[in-house]
């Protein structure tokens, strides 16, 4: 029998990254919450009042007065609602890696009690909650699903670095393993999400809804990337074409570029993995993924060709890549595709310096073995790539950007930061 109420709910949020921390803070303003993460350094920083991801500012952290941080599993023993917000990456072969999700489920299983609810927010393929996670909870806890404990799924919709679309202002999809649990999960999120909720008819529907949100965006961007390649070959400015087409009321405002991050560049592989497991080989989704994954080498090749046209010797040349984060005004390095540009340039024998004022140099070294440039040298570079449209870069004039270059250099504006006449190349 399920008898939890909002008044009796005692929450634990497992995983305090870009998704988990804002969620824990939102709930921690209204009810007791244990915010759990296995990273003790992350816990210490949050206890000191600072979020290194910059998703929650110090003042807002201080307002979550019922929130406690911990890396000790025993501190979750008194909770009865567990919300899992750990990452769900892909491996080197682009296959879903459920390791963090399985380990989080094992952790919860050790403290799970009769009547408890486990809600997953991590992006997965349809069926993963009930087919992959629930069996782990049963095995570790010794309890029976939908008799002793229950499950829900409410996919995250966090957009790192976005200060406009925040947790309270984005409609939340909810679901539960029984009608009663679905009502409880919906009411729970409805208590902190001002934009309201959408209760899906099943966990599988909620999982599928999440995974296609970013698959749709991925395919739209892939189309624009392919158009950019075609227009470049025809000598037509892609941005000018998109601006002209954008005057039609139903033309979608997508732009070409590098498609990275933890969502758009990853989620489609979860859907294609499940599709192949049931005997269907997806064609359009994988074609879009292949095209978007090819854009880093394409950008590097375009720069090298332009350098050769200008008789700039490529091997041994110095190129400045401005931006390593996967998107603007955000320190998030997950699945950044700027790394593909860097790797391809190095294959050409180019010496690459990377400058990104948003990124933690320790994180860049740990994730990619990159030593960031703290201050690019004036007049030092044969090529400059504006790879990420951070505000700091947008505020620079063309002359300030070109000051990094030698007398003969190529300026590649990948993000349309500059007017067409002020750069040498655009995507």
Q: Return d(Cα 336, Cα 57) in angstroms, integer.
A: 24
Which pLDDT score is estimated for 160? 82
Q: What is the pLDDT of residues 260-312, one digit of tens each?
A: 888 888 999 999 999 999 999 999 999 999 999 999 999 999 999 999 999 99
Residue 188 burial by CB count (10 A; 0-12/13-18/19+): exposed, middle or buried? Answer: buried
| 362, two tokens | 């320790």
User: Which residues, 6 or more positions from 331, have their beta carbon under 8 angstroms from its beta carbon?
Assistant: 52, 53, 54, 325, 358, 359, 360, 363
Q: Tell me how far apart the terminal alpha carbons of the chain are, to the nearest angstrom.
A: 58
Nearest CA among 334, 212, 205 for reference residue 284: 212
Residue 330: how many CA atoms within 13 Å on its side-chain side?
20
* Under 8 Å between Cβ of 26 and 56: no
Tell me: pLDDT of 161 over 90: no
Over the chain, what is the mean pLDDT? 95
Which pLDDT score is estimated for 416? 94
pLDDT level of residue 202 (50, 70, 90 thresholds): very high
Tell me: pLDDT of 156 over 80: yes
Q: Which residue has the tokens 């201050």?
A: 375
Query: What is the DSSP annotation of 113-167?
Result: -TT-EEEE-S---TTHIIIIIHHHHHHHH---BTTTBEEEE------TT-SSS-G
Which pLDDT score is estimated for 66? 93
Which pLDDT score is estimated for 415? 94
Tell me: pLDDT of 146 over 90: yes
CA dihedral 193, 196, 199, 204 (to 10 degrees): -60
Which pLDDT score is estimated for 396? 96
Q: Return d(Cα 208, Cα 159) in angstroms, integer.
A: 19
Residue 205 burial by CB count (10 A; 0-12/13-18/19+): exposed, middle or buried? Answer: middle
User: Which residues, 6 or more positions from 171, have their beta carbon under 8 angstroms from its beta carbon?
Assistant: 193, 195, 196, 197, 198
- For 374, phi then psi, to 5°, come to -75, -35
The share of the chain scoring above pLDDT 70, in percent, equals 100
CA dihedral 99, 100, 105, 110 (to 10 degrees): 100
* Under 8 Å between Cβ of 268 and 221: no
Element (H, E) at 211: helix 203-234
Q: How many CB atoms lie within 10 A of CB 236?
A: 12
Q: What is the pLDDT of residues 220-266, one digit of tens each?
A: 999 999 999 999 999 999 999 999 999 999 999 999 999 988 888 89
Q: What is the pLDDT of residues 61-98, one digit of tens each?
A: 999 999 999 999 999 999 999 999 999 999 989 999 99
Which pLDDT score is estimated for 351? 97
Q: How far are the Cα atoms of 110, 257, 377 from residue 211, in angstroms, in the given order?
A: 29, 21, 43
Which pLDDT score is estimated for 400? 97
User: Which residues, 6 or more positions from 102, have their beta carbon under 8 angstroms from its beta carbon?
Assistant: 132, 133, 136
Q: Is 271 helix (H, G, I), strand (E, B) or coil?
A: helix
* Under 8 Å between Cβ of 111 and 256: no
What's the whole-number mean pLDDT along residues 314-338?
Answer: 95
Which pLDDT score is estimated for 263? 85
Tell me: pLDDT of 101 over 80: yes
pLDDT level of residue 1 (50, 70, 90 thresholds): confident
Tell me: pLDDT of 159 over 80: yes
Active site residues: 263
Nearest CA among 274, 280, 226 for reference residue 254: 226
The share of the chain scoring above pLDDT 90, in percent, equals 94
Q: Return d(Cα 112, Cα 141) in angstroms, integer.
A: 6
Tell me: pLDDT of 162 over 80: no
Tally DSSP H helices, then E strands, for the chain: 16, 13
Which pLDDT score is estimated for 243? 96
Q: Return d(Cα 184, Cα 189) in angstroms, integer.
A: 9
């Amino acid at each position: 029998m399920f008898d939890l109420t909002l008044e009796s709910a005692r929450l634990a949020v497992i995983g305090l990254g870009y998704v988990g921390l804002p969620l824990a803070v939102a709930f921690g303003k209204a009810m007791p919450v244990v915010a759990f993460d296995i990273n003790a350094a992350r816990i210490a920083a949050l206890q000191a009042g600072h979020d290194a991801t910059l998703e929650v500012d110090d003042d807002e952290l201080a307002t979550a007065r019922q929130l406690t941080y911990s890396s000790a599993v025993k501190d979750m023993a008194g909770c009865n609602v567990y919300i899992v917000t750990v990452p769900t990456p892909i491996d080197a072969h682009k296959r879903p890696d459920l390791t963090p999700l399985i380990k989080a489920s094992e952790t919860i299983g050790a403290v799970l009690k009769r009547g408890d609810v486990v809600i997953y927010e991590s992006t997965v393929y349809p069926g993963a909650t009930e087919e992959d996670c629930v069996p782990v909870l049963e095995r570790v806890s010794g309890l029976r699903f939908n008799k002793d404990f229950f499950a829900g799924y409410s996919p995250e919709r966090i957009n790192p670095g976005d200060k406009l679309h925040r947790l309270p202002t984005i409609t939340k999809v909810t679901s539960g393993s029984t009608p009663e649990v679905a009502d409880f999960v919906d009411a729970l999120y409805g208590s902190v999400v001002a934009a309201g909720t959408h209760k899906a008819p099943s966990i599988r529907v909620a999982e599928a809804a999440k995974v296609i949100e970013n698959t749709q965006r991925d395919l739209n961007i892939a189309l624009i990337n392919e158009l950019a390649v075609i227009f470049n070959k025809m000598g037509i400015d892609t941005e000018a074409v998109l601006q002209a087409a954008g005057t039609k009321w139903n033309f979608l405002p997508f732009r070409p570029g590098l498609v990275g991050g933890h969502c758009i560049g990853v989620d489609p592989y979860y859907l294609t993995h499940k599709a192949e497991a049931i005997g269907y080989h997806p064609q359009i989704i994988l074609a879009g993924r292949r095209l978007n994954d090819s854009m880093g080498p394409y950008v590097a090749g375009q720069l090298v060709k332009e350098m050769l046209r200008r008789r700039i010797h490529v091997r041994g040349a110095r190129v400045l890549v401005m931006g390593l984060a996967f998107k603007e005004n955000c320190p998030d390095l997950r699945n950044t595709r700027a790394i593909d540009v860097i790797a391809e340039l190095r294959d050409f024998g180019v010496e690459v310096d990377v400058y990104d004022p948003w990124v933690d140099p320790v994180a860049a070294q740990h994730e990619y073995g990159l030593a960031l440039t703290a201050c690019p040298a004036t007049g030092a570079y044969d090529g400059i790539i504006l790879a990420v449209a951070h505000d700091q870069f947008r505020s620079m004039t063309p002359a300030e950007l070109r000051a990094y270059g030698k007398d003969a250099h190529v300026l590649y504006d990948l993000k349309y930061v500059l007017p067409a006449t002020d750069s040498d190349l655009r995507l």
